[in-house]
Amino acid sequence: MYLKMHLLSRRAYSGLLFSQGSMATCLRRGKSLIKPRLCRNISLSCQRYTVMASWIIDRYGRNDVLRFTNNMTFPVIHFPNEVIIKVHAASLNPIDVNMRNGYGVAALNMKRDPLKLKSTGSEFPLTLGRDVSGVIMECGLNVSYFKPGDEVWAAIPPWKQGTISEFVVASGNEISHKPKCLSHMEAASLPYVGLTAWSAMNQIGGLNQDNCSGKRILIFGASGGVGTFAIQLMKAWGGHVTAVCSQDASTLVKKLGADDVIDYKSGDVAEQLKMLPLFDFILDNVGGPTEKWSLDFLKKWSGATYVTLVTPFLLNVDRLGVADGMLQTGVTIGTKAVKHLCKGIHYRWAFFTPSGQSLDEIAKLVESGKIHPVVDQVFSFSEVPKAFLKLEGGHARGKTVINVINKK
């Protein structure tokens, strides 16, 4: 008993003692100084589990750095607003391939260890994967909207351990109740791309269900994960959508609601766009040369907005370091914003933003039948390297999903 109390005391001191369960009696000897309403059952997940199955990397590189292990350390609740989720399904995004290759490591390590107290490489072993659909196993003391057994979905920020594992820890602010109309495989395809599109079009672009009706929306890279979600979101809000993709994806984007489809392989995209009226909003998932000419197709001096998801922020920080990289990034966005504002156009950058509240809004759209998951292919948990190769091949038509429950 002394050993148990000693371990509990150490964990309480370090902030690890915040999960619901069955060991509260160990802390209620004698006269308690804790108010009765704060006396919560406590359990330590590490007493029941110590390791779990996971796909990890021990260094950055190509696909051969992916390694399966049955001995990944089981996640622990560190803060009272966290939950442990049993992962049923996950999905891959381009950021997972980029992170595997080491892209953005400087900025992400700054977020993980802002005081630089840890040694280089302390992020390893690193689990990739941002999307999760699963069941809550344990809740922190301050988690009030969820309970063990709830089916939830979430997109985990890239500086945290990922979801291609049996269990994952998430903040209560990052999760939402999974739409009941979706399976775990379907649900896992939506959070990251949905929140990215929501950030770009709603939080940064200012579009919503009250002001989007009749507006002309142009989407570059319309057949990918973010693009297919953005098409549906804009149609749900009453917008007129023009999608730019390849001919073999035209059937898909039309099915999702696109009013006009531009095939970038059939000729110069700019020439094809000249045949259409100007646009109120552009979402650019492609970047590169597209940015140089696409803003010419916006309605000037009418509040028209260009939002791109392809930014140099992580590259600048990797190349120049944190301070100089952030400075260079600030100069770049500031210069471009002012330049285009003088021409009557709002120029913006957008990034993925984790938000359980936004997922609640997305869930409503899913349950009302206005947004549907677009799954390109489902891989078993043992086929994760194949799933990465599939994603690296490009030309995705929706999302690549991992069935974590199916180990074979």
DSSP 4: H
Instruction: Look at residue 48 in the predicted model and tell me its pLDDT.
Output: 63
Whether 143 has a pLDDT exceeding 90, the answer reads: yes
Instruction: Look at residue 408 in the predicted model and tell me its pLDDT.
Output: 63
Q: Which residues pair with 152 in a beta bridge?
A: 134, 177
Encode pLDDT of 37-58 as tens digits. Answer: 443 444 444 446 789 999 999 9
Q: In terms of pLDDT, which residue wins out, 23 or 383?
A: 383
Mean pLDDT of 290-308: 97
Encode pLDDT of 257-291 as tens digits. Answer: 999 999 999 999 999 999 999 999 999 999 999 99
**Distance between CA atoms of residues 258 and 374, nearest Å:** 15
Whether 340 has a pLDDT exceeding 80, the answer reads: yes
- The confidence band for 394, taking pLDDT boundaries of 50, 70 and 90, is confident
Domains parsed from the chain with CATH numbers: 51-191+373-403 (3.90.180.10), 205-349 (3.40.50.720)
Distances (CA, A) of 260 to 153, 161, 225, 254, 393: 32, 40, 19, 8, 27
pTM comes to 0.88
Distances (CA, A) of 205 to 223, 281, 359: 20, 8, 18
Instruction: Look at residue 396 in the predicted model and tell me its pLDDT.
Output: 74
Whether 25 has a pLDDT exceeding 80, the answer reads: no
- The confidence band for 165, taking pLDDT boundaries of 50, 70 and 90, is very high
Whether 26 has a pLDDT exceeding 60, the answer reads: no
Q: What is the residue-averaged pLDDT of the chain?
A: 89
| Secondary element (H or E) of residue 133 | strand 131-139
**What share of the chain has pLDDT > 90, as a percent?**
83
Instruction: Look at residue 40 in the predicted model and tell me its pLDDT.
Output: 41
DSSP 15: T
Tokens describing residue 277:
């009226």
Whether 344 has a pLDDT exceeding 70, the answer reads: yes
Encode pLDDT of 74-89 as tens digits. Answer: 999 999 999 999 999 9
Instruction: Look at residue 27 in the predicted model and tell me its pLDDT.
Output: 36
**Distance between CA atoms of residues 229 and 236, nearest Å:** 11
Residue labelled with tokens 């949905």: 194
